[in-house]
Amino acid sequence: MKYGARNEITATVTKIKKGEVMCQVDVGDIIANKMSSVMTMESIEEMGLKEGDKVKVVVKAVSVLLIKE
């Protein structure tokens, strides 16, 4: 199974909150050795981002795809 995405994390479902149309699934026991972001060159220059910098990695839950292999 090969995915056209840079972020592949292994985890375990810890909680499921169900609504009428949508639901929220929380996961824990997260194993994530590496993550990647893609942004514009303009953004990285304005951030002055360089190797070694501490960053916050923010992802909206709607952009997170869960796969049950």
Interacting residues toward its own copies by CB under 8 A = 1-28, 30, 32-44, 46-69
The CB-of-8 to its own copies minimum distance in angstroms stands at: 6
Q: How far apart are CA 52 and CA 33, in angstroms?
A: 16
Identity of the residue numbered 11:
A
Q: Give the other-Cβ count within 10 Å of 59's Cβ.
A: 10
The CB-of-52 to its own copies minimum distance in angstroms stands at: 6
The CB-of-46 to its own copies minimum distance in angstroms stands at: 7
